[in-house]
Amino acid sequence: MAKPKVFATHPLFGAARQILQEGCDVEYWAKPERPPREEVLRRVKDKEGLICLLTEKINDELLRAAPKLRVAANVAVGFDNIDVAACTKRGVVATNTPGVLDETTADFAWTLLMAVARRLGEGEALARSGNWKGWDLDQLVGTDVWGKTLGIVGFGRIGRAVARRASGFQMKVIYTDAVHARVELERDLQVEFREMNALLAESDFISAHVPLLPETRRLFDAPKFHRMKPTAFLINTSRGPVVDEAALVAALESGKIAGAGLDVYENEPFIHPGLKRANVVLAPHIASASLETRTKMACMAAENVVALFQGQRPANMLNPEVLKR
Ligand code: GLV
């Protein structure tokens, strides 16, 4: 019997290709640049499976172009690029990669936090410039991290992993979320719940860990920046549109907040020019980018596809109701 045809919009990693090779006939996008939209639409025409990155929109247009599609596997935990309802309507299973990137993403939230607090971007530029004149008492003085208050907005797996790392820095950790964590978990992680406004007013560092949803779009807006301490920093490794970027630039320019560490942007890969300032550390959406974790993400997506074609339930279905019919 012919193997089901799959299009992968990336060559993935060897370990993921190995998972796919036996049961699927996979066409890989192998060029270093991302595939143009027309190319994706053209290649999905005869495919039953799609493995895609978060840069591809899985919407009505794509689903119309892929009448045989049965599964769209995102190599990412965030799935705001997928119109899940449209997939469900057409009986296409959509999957993501939860769980495998929590610790790596939490590491990177801390990387940004430390870098912006201790002015690492500026320091690195000076060290490389050839203009460094040597140690000076008031050179690139930053802000202490240890002993401060960390506010976590969104207390899911990644938010909790960020919280766990704070104890070594003797920090007070507060969090806000639509749901309270269990009392035992709060006790184990030594965290306290706050309403959003209280968290904004109390935190020295605020780290965002919410999914992009209609209710979290532009969650961080001008009134929120107004409530933050002028000495506070915003860290965002979640999704760019969670922050009103123009309002963030205005807050940074007017000194309403002290700085930001950003991995994600409203209109990637465009970065608002007003963010390219000394008190902002910028990264190009790499929070989950360790070889170990990106390999696990690709393998997980591959396993989701293979499971479906073997008549099993993929482990990470976003619309399990499709298989209940
Ligand atoms: C990366 O941003 C992801 O959602 O996995």
pLDDT at 324: 83
Structural domains in the chain, sorted by start: 5-100+291-324 (3.40.50.720), 102-282 (3.40.50.720)
* Rg of the chain, C-alpha, whole Å: 22
Per-residue pLDDT averaged across 169-183, rounded?
Answer: 97
Determine the distance separating the centroid of ligand 1 and the alpha carbon of 288, expressed in angstroms.
7
71 lines ligand 1 (CB under 6 A): no
pLDDT at 58: 98
pLDDT one-digit tens code per residue, 1-29 = 899 999 999 999 999 999 999 999 999 99
76 lines ligand 1 (CB under 6 A): yes
Strands 191-193 and 205-208: unpaired
113 lines ligand 1 (CB under 6 A): no
pLDDT at 1: 82
pLDDT at 212: 98
Distance CA 6, CA 51 (A): 7
pLDDT at 124: 98
Task: Specify the residue with its C-alpha closest to ligand 1, atom 1.
Answer: 76
Distance CA 12, CA 317 (A): 20
Residue that the structure tokens 């991302």 belong to: 34
Determine the distance separating the centroid of ligand 1 and the alpha carbon of 101, expressed in angstroms.
8
Determine the distance separating the centroid of ligand 1 and the alpha carbon of 126, expressed in angstroms.
32
The set of catalytic residues is 239, 268, 285
Question: Got the DSSP string for 46-88?
Answer: T-SEEEE-TTS-BSHHHHHH-TT--EEEESSS--TTB-HHHHH
Nearest-atom number in ligand 1 for the CA of 101 is 5
- The average confidence (pLDDT) of the chain is 98
Question: Cβ(125)–Cβ(148) under 8 Å?
Answer: no
How is residue 104 annotated by DSSP?
A: H
pLDDT one-digit tens code per residue, 91-113 = 999 999 999 999 999 999 999 99
Q: Which residue, 287, 285, 255, is CA-closest to 271? A: 285
Question: Cβ(187)–Cβ(167) under 8 Å?
Answer: no
pLDDT one-digit tens code per residue, 118-163 = 999 999 999 999 999 999 999 999 999 999 999 999 999 999 999 9
Per-residue pLDDT averaged across 289-305, rounded?
Answer: 98
pLDDT grade, residue 325 (50/70/90)? low
Three-state secondary structure call for residue 43: helix
Q: With pLDDT > 90 as the criterion, what percentage of the chain qualifies?
A: 99
pLDDT at 72: 98
Is pLDDT above 90 for 52?
A: yes
pLDDT one-digit tens code per residue, 185-238 = 999 999 999 999 999 999 999 999 999 999 999 999 999 999 999 999 999 999
Nearest-atom number in ligand 1 for the CA of 76 is 5
Q: With pLDDT > 70 as the criterion, what percentage of the chain qualifies?
A: 100
